[in-house]
Amino acid sequence: MPTLFISDLHLDAERPQVTELFGRFLHDEARKADALYILGDLFEAWVGDDDPSETGAFVARELQALGAAGVPVYFMRGNRDFLLGDAYARTAGMTVLPDPAVVALYGRPTLLMHGDTLCTGDVAYQQFRAQVRNPAWQQQFLSQPLAARVAFAQQARAASKAHQAGLQDKGAMETITDVTPETVAATMSRFGIQRLIHGHTHRPAIHDLDIDGHAHQRIVLGDWYDQGSVLRVSPDGVQLEAL
């Protein structure tokens, strides 16, 4: 049975068909897995564990059921759901991983990341990330009424779209929003690990790299906007496919 990796589902009420696809995936293929890893951006936005969204409640029930069936679920926060807290994780039966995290997959050490910290060419985003990941900022934000937090999330999404549109106009979208190769090499060298799995960029692919004269592998998970994307890792190798 393989270990499954997914990321960038961006689930929300506006795309119920993707939530339904995720539910079928959890009932079908995931039930046969050794484990399920969700490497960030499970939700389109997360403004606090007290948000009574039907999508969040459905996902928590389904993940809890998967864990009860004997399949452990691991979760890494992304740039859209970085405020997902321990309370929701407990309800969903998920084990929260730090970013980055090192795991052993069938005897092979593997580095897991959401992937946004590898995009160091997008300076504006990295500055925003540093702000919202500050514990003091998060505490102040979560103390606001739910309606105010929802409004902020909507504004942030609009600003993100405008930022990407500006990069597109400048012809810099492909390079700025993708990983920086030097950052990838430095990160993998720092951990001394030759396989990296991440999401965030929505560019599913398996890259074979040469870093300091040694073979490395970078696997990029796809998003779930128009279809599902899943990575299967087993003792026999890796398989990256669209559902």
Q: What is the rounded average pLDDT of the residues 193-218?
A: 96
Amino acid at the residue 148 = A
The CATH number of whichever domain residue 119 belongs to comes to: 3.60.21.10
Residue 199 has pLDDT above 60, yes or no: yes
* pTM exceeds 0.75, yes or no: yes
CA distance linking residue 201 with residue 119, whole number of Å: 9
In this prediction, what percent of the chain has a pLDDT beyond 90? Answer: 85
In this prediction, what percent of the chain has a pLDDT beyond 70? Answer: 95
Label each residue of the chain as H, E or C.
Answer: CCEEEECCCCECCCCHHHHHHHHHHHHCHHHHCCEEEECCCCECCCCCCCCCCHHHHHHHHHHHHHHHCCCCEEEECCCCCCCCCHHHHHHHCEEEECCCEEEEECCEEEEEECCHHHCCCCHHHHHHHHHHCCHHHHHHHHCCCHHHHHHHHHHHHHHHHHHHHHHHHCCCHHHHCCCCHHHHHHHHHHHCCCEEEECCCCCCEEEEEEECCEEEEEEECCCCCCCCEEEEEECCEEEEEEC
pLDDT at residue number 90: 98
Q: How far apart are the first and last CA of the chain?
A: 18
pLDDT band at 156 (very low <50, low <70, confident <90, very high): confident
Residue 153 has pLDDT above 90, yes or no: no
pLDDT band at 176 (very low <50, low <70, confident <90, very high): low
Q: Domains in the chain: how many in total?
A: 1
What are the structure tokens assigned to 166, written together?
């500006």
What are the structure tokens assigned to 77, written together?
């926060």
CA distance linking residue 101 with residue 110, whole number of Å: 8
Q: Which domain holds residue 201?
A: 3-242
CA distance linking residue 61 with residue 94, whole number of Å: 11
pLDDT at residue number 145: 95
